[in-house]
Structure 1
Amino acid sequence: GVWSFTAPLSNDRAFYQYELSLYHYTNQKFQTLVSSDPYSVSLSENGVYSQFVNLADESLKPTDWDSHTIPVVAGIEDAIIYEGNIRDFSIRDESTTTANRGKYLAFTEQDSAPVMHLKSLVASGLTHFQILPANDIASVNENFSAQINLTSTVDELCAINTAAPVCGVESGSATLLSVFESYDPATTDAKLLTQAIEGLDGYNFGYDPKHFNAPDGNFASNTDGVSRILEMRSMNKALHDMGLRTSLDVVYNHTNTSGLYNNSVLDLVVPGYYYRRDLTTGGVMNATCCHDTETEHRMMDKLMLDSLVMWATEYKFDAFRFDIMGSHSKTSIVNALAAVKAVDADTYFYGEGWSRPNEGYEQAGQNEMAGTEIGTFNDRPRDTMLSASLFNDAASLNDQDIMRLGLSGTLADYQLQNKSGETELGKNFSQSSYAKDPADIINYVSKHDGATLWDKLQYGLATDMSVDDRVRAQNITITMPIMSQGIPFLQIGGDLIRSKSMDRNSYNNGDWYNLVDFTKNTNNWNVGLPIEFENGKTLADIADIINNPETTVNASHISFAGDVFNEFVSIRSSSKLFSLATAQDVYDRVGFHNTGAKQTKGLIVMSLDDGTGLTDLDTSNDAIVVVINGSSEEQSHTIATANGFELHSVQQNSVDTTVQGASFSQGTDEGTFTVPALTTAVFVKPQIGAQGSGLAAGVTRDAADEAPYGNTVIYLNDTNGFDDEDTFSYAGNGVYKLDTVLAAGEQSFTITSEDSIEVNLGFTDVSIGGNSVEVTNDNGSFVVNVDTEGSFTFILDASGEVPVLTISSVSLTVNCSALMDSTDAIPFAIAGDGELYVKGDHSGWVADEAYRLHYKGNNTYQAVAEFDGAMQFKLASSDGSWSTQLWAQAADSTAIDDTNLALGVTYSVSYEDAGTDNNKTTLAAGSYSFLLTLNEANPSKGSDVGTMIIQQCSE
């Protein structure tokens, strides 16, 4: 339970501390300590003292607080969330009253540029505003007079930090803002000055909690006492009055510190109880970033639950976003949701469901939370969108499949025709879909941490792409989550091409790098070299990008991007078809076209059906088609049965005159959609009166498969001719297959029809697949040298203009005890603990000793373990970042192979970061060997570094 006592009313607003006599594990002493109250609802400056407060006191409520109207959404899938930092919202906005800049009360200024911007988004359909953590934190000194901010002078900074680069160099009376403005952005000057201010200013994202239940004083007009309560409530009421529901980012997985350190609270009151501790050393763990709490302990769990109920009840927050949610148990989050729903029935929970180290409980991770309608951030399509793959002619078609799955809500059981023309479930793709309900998914391309969308895209866009086209690419990418099933989530200013000057982790980088300009004069690009940048990149790489004049936007670009963003929010909000409430509705209504082996790169075509036979969700339209053209040319695509479509009325009147040129032309039992380059166009089939025919989700996916050579039978034609045993079977999707035995020696052959006229393929008529055995040319015939008689598989992919022939030697089984472990040190510089593991869904995505690859000598590694069923995996190091990754390459490229790896086939291996892409295979229950053979002892990153083969153990 929680201790409580009743005191006279005269103690109201009095400050207090606890005096505690106890034994503390850190110094192993009995001692007397003083502490603030872990359940504090109000505090003195910097949280030194707690304050007795009656939260029901009328003086702590803005006018009409108890009776004001809170906006509602019909279903949580209708939500569109905009995330922002309270400080970023207004700290540098000149239209906001000086005293309120960076404060709660900035949201109450109805005519300021930031508030007017929010109102314009609400008018288009924005539903939620999420604030970054706003409870009491430890990292910012709340004494405003002691802070060094952009308005401070050089002398004021140098009085505190004599090592700052401006000391003795710049005029002492100059403001730091003026100094920043004077710097050459191509230098490290802004970076070094920012680092000199870190910890002295009022800036921090706030992910370092000290007290969970009290608003942070740094955003209040008075840091001592109850102003924070009234003013946070005023902020929320102002947002509600604008038409926005409010969401609070909460951090219960760690605190700023523990033990006897300054800012420790929980660990002073009940030493050792609230934290996750190392079972060997007893030390507090810091797997999150800081000092990890342990909500598996009942009273820590209760503290979190009570805190959430308090924020919902006393401050009327309508939703909660959980930092590192996977550090909590699924049970804990589900129970907390039930408790909050008891006081606010339409609340919504969502959070970071990234996999965490196994601590013996079911995590609140992506896979575990699927089906709970508690949202998790969706990284599956995110990385492919951020890579600018859609705008790259050489990109993998697998990326487009992953984006399609994202548009359909990343549902595990959604059926999509993949790049090879095969229909498979979302969960079986290389980046496995995991959701069971659209509400499980938060779709995004940027949020507070990580590079902004604009900054990230510049790494992947072509150097010679014009700035106008870059803005169009930005518009396509940021609006893809808006067109997706699930809940769109946008970073504040992303709609205005926000930049942090390529900085990828600006949590403590102050107001210079974190500017959001709602006047649309600047997007904050190239204001100084970044403090922290993308892994694998250098300042020289970034200098090349920022020195490219095509990466600099002007005010008209920013205004254009903002207007286009608003149009897409309006389009989404106009039809329930973009926010389907059940997985079954998605299966029944969402279809994709331009799929399979013959698809056009850079073109995604999605249909949404609302025709007869389905519940009429959109009484204005019988169907919608979204065409996303990421290519540099106009594209047309024809869909069978499509008829009666026209460009959406919003786009007919769009600020983007290019999209106005998108068109639909009617054919016989089909229709063709034509869309300009770098454009997303939305077409509707208006419903005239009663519900009419729509556009079936499976019209393309379920169409009959036509073999490239029709009914013609093809054979492996060697020097002895051919017979029935040499017949290729048609496997579908343009692929022919033959399993046969080749005798030892030189084998020569062609691939022909019976008459050698209809089909007659020789060496010069095909390309050889990347994973094929060596094939040479002898006067047009294929030649393979076979060392010993054995089984071979011939795959002829005739789906493209040039057929691809892959010949694989097949050895299904192996003696798994034949190779002995080597006593030599592993020569490969592997990250983490220095070992490789078969890491995937079979191992919970972590390094498991059962799946470790043992070093066998001669650059050979082998894992022997039990496997059963479909699995996705890579060979990777033990660390959570998977810093060392090896994987099987595709047959026709150096990209990762996203097809089902076959048993007994040798695959070429790459040593690169494949992101969230994985290999996959399906194994019947049994023991298997994963054998990796490297070409060099310690290879450099790249393709073709070795080979991998999966075989079943014969003994």
Structure 2
Amino acid sequence: MKLKSIVLMGLAIFAMSCTPEKRAYKSFDEYPVPSAPINEMVYTPSQTTFTLWSPTAEQVELMLFDSGDEGSAYQSVTLEPKEDGLWSASVNQNLKGKFYAFNVKIKEKWLGETPGIMAKAVGLNGKRAAVIDLADTNPQGWSSDQRPPLKSDADIILYEMHHRDFSVDTTSGIKNRGKFLALTEKGTKNTAGDATGIDHLKELGVTHVHLMPSFDFASIDESNLKANKYNWGYDPLNYNVPEGSYSTNPKEPAVRIVEFKKMVQSLHKAGIRVVMDVVYNHTSSIQGSNFELTAPGYFYRMKKNGKWANGSGCGNETASERGMMRKFMIESVVYWATEYHVDGFRFDLMGIHDIETMNQIRAALDKVDPSIYIYGEGWAAEQPQLPKEKLAMKENITKMPRIAAFSDELRDGLRGPFNDDKKGGFMTGISRKEMSVKFGLVGAIKHPQILNDSVNYSKAPWALQPTQMISYVSCHDDMCLVDRIKSSMPDASPAVIAAIDKLAVTAVFTSQGVPFIYAGEEIMRDKKMVHNSFESPDAVNAINWNNKTLYKDVFDYYKGLIAMRKAHPAFHMGNADLVRKNMEFLPVAGSNLIVFRLKGYSNGDSWDDIYVALNGDRAPRKFAVDPGKYTVVCKNGIINQYGLGTMYGGEVYVPGLSALIFHK
């Protein structure tokens, strides 16, 4: 008995030493990271279990509410400390339809209500989480929903859109304007009867729709949608819940979930995959964020002077290298890929994240489906608080196989520098931009004809494979393509602007990288010359769908380029060795002219040698090709892959500000 008493006393002393108020960590690296998935709310009709990770908490309270945004808690439950920094409690009631929030006490101070870091359903404006059964949110036929076939990343064609921009204008003919459901409506037309919405996307031929932030963000008041306040959504609030303002009823937690799934299902039936724009690099703020209300300081980096780091340019940068932040990011993308059937992820300011986290995300998504595509911005707004060699920057893409980055070399080579809207590039007749464009045309890989010393930003190739480079000339950031042309060529007529638009996009779609266009580019969208329209009104951002009729030739050109790229494997070889072997640049006299030949790579195609000439000069230019009979498929801003006529080799002329494509 005496021995037993001694053992029991020892165990009691050990238990006291492990109580939460006695836990002391010398650094964030010592914070425990649970091995099990983060499930903060597990519902059954008879019991709901709540769990929160807060390793330095002294006490954690759970509050239950009848409303998602009003009233006081009707019940409070004290969570018990568990292993690995977890706190948990079960409520033996059917809580479906109720709402909840956690409150953490640290250093004798209650931090304030939070829905948790992994909330999967929330009430109005996302301040309280909701108790729901996710099985109830699956639309009819959801279990049989499938990702559209994708043989290779080289087959991808990306289309970036903002939900509101795409459908909010009355010219869209869409009923659920600015909502997730806009992408479920078939048969919508503009005032002239041309297809809009999802039918437009099918007609255009894109393979992936890149949705700008669709998670729950902070800047829109969901209780007052009539105010029409606008924002892109790069101010995360709840990462794992769809944004309420894009639903038809943000007060009901299940509605936004059901409608997001219906949107994905509709796009999949149309043969289009879905990419989510994810913003794990920063939150809308630090104070009051769900991260800070759970584990203060842990989820964010600080500078040596004790101030918050700001690699995002938005007031903070998250610490992806820390165990729980890494785990959170991995489980978040896997959740979107499995629960919502999302097919790809675009990482905002990916250069803030560490390489190891990005590679673990790639590995985790491979277990779900290896065809899920990952790409991001390979830079940061300011230098993050990690050594460059550890960051997921563009120059480190070789360390991240099957993760892609945007090519600002091609973008700015074509249109001009990011930091000066008035300066032009190759497409507006500025000389000495050819090598930067060629760098993008080969897909940022090592190529014997690329002189990297003459490339604008990168003095070395950074992609292992061409599918690791996103080829683009404009996106939501900075001026859209039409506005940039107007800014750098203020004297340009509408006809000249359309011609330059076509020339630029020809470079994008004949690049061996993965092509990317910004919604509305294909119908000459403008944004009233606004450089950064993140909170501009609909009058600036909304797409005028009557442009599709007005600029039918431009739309047909984009459509024709996409069809040509899809039909002929030489335009998307998808392998660096094949590109080096089969893509060569022809010698030309002078500047502002690029000519390349795709030779010997038919892969069963009837086209033999393919020639692409890009003329950024206003005057016609000439070059020489081998004698022979050729079929012209693109000339003077018109494209038809079945042929526009024939020509013979020798001296060939390409009209000013245009592309010429022909083949044997």
Q: Identify the TM-score tier after normalising by the shorter chain.
A: 0.7 to 0.9
- What residue in structure 2 maps to residue 242 of structure 1? 270
CA distance in 2, matches of 1:142, 1:450: 27
CA distance in 2, matches of 1:343, 1:632: 50
CA shift digits 1:761-795 (9 cap, x unpaired): xxxxxxxxxxxxxxxxxxxxxxxxxxxxxxxxxxx
Task: Note if 1:227 corresponds to 2:255.
Answer: yes
CA shift digits 1:431-470 (9 cap, x unpaired): 434222101100111111110111111233262x432122
Find 1:605's aligned residue among 595, 598, 604: 595
- How far residue 93 of structure 1 moved from its aligned partner, in angstroms, is 2.9
CA contact (8 A) 2:186 2:197 kept: no
CA shift digits 1:889-916 (9 cap, x unpaired): xxxxxxxxxxxxxxxxxxxxxxxxxxxx
Find 1:619's aligned residue among 605, 611, 621: 605
- What residue in structure 2 maps to residue 382 of structure 1? 411
- How far residue 284 of structure 1 moved from its aligned partner, in angstroms, is 5.8
Find 1:646's aligned residue among 623, 631, 635: 631
CA distance in 1, matches of 2:636, 2:428: 30
CA contact (8 A) 2:308 2:316 kept: no
> What SS is found at the alignment partner of 1:62?
coil
- How far residue 379 of structure 1 moved from its aligned partner, in angstroms, is 0.5
Give matches, 1:5-404, under 5 Å.
8-9=44-45, 10-23=94-107, 30-31=109-110, 33-55=112-134, 57=135, 59-98=136-175, 100-113=176-189, 116=196, 118-144=198-224, 147-149=226-228, 201=229, 203-224=230-251, 225-259=253-287, 261=288, 264-281=289-306, 283=308, 285=310, 287-354=312-379, 357=383, 359-361=385-387, 362-370=390-398, 372-387=401-416, 388-390=424-426, 395-396=430-431, 398-404=432-438
Count of aligned positions: 561
- What residue in structure 2 maps to residue 677 of structure 1? 656
Give matches, 1:764-843, under 5 Å.
none
Q: Read off the aligned partner of 1:138 and give its amino acid letter.
A: A
- How far residue 267 of structure 1 moved from its aligned partner, in angstroms, is 0.5
CA contact (8 A) 2:309 2:315 kept: no
Structure 1 portions without partners, runs of 5+: 24-28, 150-200, 417-423, 522-554, 686-955
CA contact (8 A) 1:410 1:426 kept: no
Q: Read off the aligned partner of 1:502 and give its amino acid letter.
A: M
- How far residue 6 of structure 1 moved from its aligned partner, in angstroms, is 5.2
Q: For residues 642 and 256 of structure 1, do their structure 2 counterparts lie closer, same or farther at Cα, with a shift above 3 Å needed?
A: farther
Higher relative contact order (CA 8 A, sep 6+): 2
CA distance in 2, matches of 1:21, 1:365: 38
> What SS is found at the alignment partner of 2:433?
helix
Find 2:580's aligned residue among 555, 578, 587: 587
> What SS is found at the alignment partner of 1:369?
helix
Q: Read off the aligned partner of 1:609 and give its amino acid letter.
A: K
CA contact (8 A) 2:95 2:131 kept: yes
Q: Read off the aligned partner of 1:49 and give its amino acid letter.
A: R
CA shift digits 1:31-56 (9 cap, x unpaired): 3632212111110000121012232x
CA distance in 2, matches of 1:461, 1:588: 38
Q: For residues 285 and 604 of structure 1, do their structure 2 counterparts lie closer, same or farther at Cα, with a shift above 3 Å needed?
A: closer
CA contact (8 A) 1:79 1:487 kept: yes
Give matches, 1:349-748, under 5 Å.
349-354=374-379, 357=383, 359-361=385-387, 362-370=390-398, 372-387=401-416, 388-390=424-426, 395-396=430-431, 398-411=432-445, 413-416=446-449, 425-426=451-452, 429-431=455-457, 432=459, 433-461=461-489, 463=491, 465-520=492-547, 556=550, 558-595=551-588, 599-610=589-600, 616-639=602-625, 641=626, 643-648=628-633, 651=634, 664-666=647-649, 671-685=650-664
CA contact (8 A) 2:426 2:616 kept: yes
CA contact (8 A) 1:626 1:680 kept: yes
- How far residue 309 of structure 1 moved from its aligned partner, in angstroms, is 0.3
> What SS is found at the alignment partner of 2:538?
helix
Q: For residues 683 and 118 of structure 1, do their structure 2 counterparts lie closer, same or farther at Cα, with a shift above 3 Å needed?
A: farther
Q: For residues 273 and 652 of structure 1, do their structure 2 counterparts lie closer, same or farther at Cα, with a shift above 3 Å needed?
A: closer
Q: Read off the aligned partner of 1:105 and give its amino acid letter.
A: L
CA contact (8 A) 1:80 1:126 kept: yes
- What residue in structure 2 maps to residue 695 of structure 1? none
CA distance in 2, matches of 1:478, 1:257: 37
- How far residue 294 of structure 1 moved from its aligned partner, in angstroms, is 0.7
Q: Read off the aligned partner of 2:402 and give its amino acid letter.
A: E
CA shift digits 1:786-827 (9 cap, x unpaired): xxxxxxxxxxxxxxxxxxxxxxxxxxxxxxxxxxxxxxxxxx
> What SS is found at the alignment partner of 2:268?
helix
Q: For residues 215 and 633 of structure 1, do their structure 2 counterparts lie closer, same or farther at Cα, with a shift above 3 Å needed?
A: same
CA contact (8 A) 2:353 2:391 kept: yes
- How far residue 331 of structure 1 moved from its aligned partner, in angstroms, is 0.8
CA distance in 1, matches of 2:271, 2:301: 41
Q: Read off the aligned partner of 2:440 and give its amino acid letter.
A: G
- How far residue 631 of structure 1 moved from its aligned partner, in angstroms, is 2.5
CA distance in 2, matches of 1:6, 1:384: 52
Q: For residues 305 and 634 of structure 1, do their structure 2 counterparts lie closer, same or farther at Cα, with a shift above 3 Å needed?
A: same
CA contact (8 A) 2:167 2:197 kept: no
CA contact (8 A) 1:212 1:307 kept: yes
CA distance in 1, matches of 2:613, 2:274: 33
CA distance in 2, matches of 1:7, 1:287: 36
Q: Read off the aligned partner of 1:673 and give its amino acid letter.
A: V
CA shift digits 1:721-775 (9 cap, x unpaired): xxxxxxxxxxxxxxxxxxxxxxxxxxxxxxxxxxxxxxxxxxxxxxxxxxxxxxx
- How far residue 108 of structure 1 moved from its aligned partner, in angstroms, is 0.8
CA contact (8 A) 2:183 2:197 kept: no
Structure 2 portions without partners, runs of 5+: 1-33, 46-93, 417-423
CA contact (8 A) 2:300 2:317 kept: yes
CA distance in 2, matches of 1:502, 1:20: 47
CA contact (8 A) 2:414 2:427 kept: no
Q: For residues 364 and 95 of structure 1, do their structure 2 counterparts lie closer, same or farther at Cα, with a shift above 3 Å needed?
A: closer
Q: For residues 70 and 656 of structure 1, do their structure 2 counterparts lie closer, same or farther at Cα, with a shift above 3 Å needed?
A: closer
CA RMSD of aligned residues (A): 2.5
- How far residue 632 of structure 1 moved from its aligned partner, in angstroms, is 2.6
CA distance in 1, matches of 2:511, 2:535: 32
Q: For residues 427 and 374 of structure 1, do their structure 2 counterparts lie closer, same or farther at Cα, with a shift above 3 Å needed?
A: farther
CA contact (8 A) 1:208 1:255 kept: yes
> What SS is found at the alignment partner of 1:31?
strand
CA contact (8 A) 2:594 2:613 kept: yes
CA distance in 2, matches of 1:653, 1:307: 48
Q: Read off the aligned partner of 2:133 and give its amino acid letter.
A: N
- How far residue 279 of structure 1 moved from its aligned partner, in angstroms, is 3.1
> What SS is found at the alignment partner of 2:112?
strand
